[in-house]
Amino acid sequence: MRHPYVYIMASGRNGTLYVGVTSDLPKRAYQHREGLVPGFTKTYGCKLLVWYEPHETMLAAITHEKQIKSGSRKKKLLLVEALNPQWLDLYETLI
């Protein structure tokens, strides 16, 4: 799974959201889940991987990440609901 990904971590259903980008999604999601990454996700308990999307290049992933981050919370919630309406932790599907 070493491809560029944009992803959303959440503290729970309709909870606090974090949008990120990585080239190693399983590793990064694990770091967030275990609180190994200091900062926003650790502070706000964003441990659930609720949405992700692969990209061909890191530049494309970063561009999309910026678009998502600049969008409204409602748009972020719609992204999650479209892929994962039950807000399941998708981390288990990666390993």
For the entire predicted model, the pTM comes to 0.95
Q: Which amino acid would we find at residue 15?
A: G
CATH number assigned to the domain comprising residue 11: 3.40.1440.10
Is residue 9 scored above 70 in pLDDT? yes
List the beta bridge partners of residue 48.
10
Write out pLDDT tens, residues 35-70.
998 999 999 999 999 999 999 999 999 999 999 999
The domain tally of the chain equals 1
Look at residue 2 in the predicted model and tell me its pLDDT: 73
Buried b (16+ CB within 10 A) or exposed e, 5-32: bbbbbbbeeeeebbbbbbeebbebbbeb
Nearest to 89 by CA among 36, 10, 17, 35: 10
Task: Show the domain range for 39.
Answer: 5-93
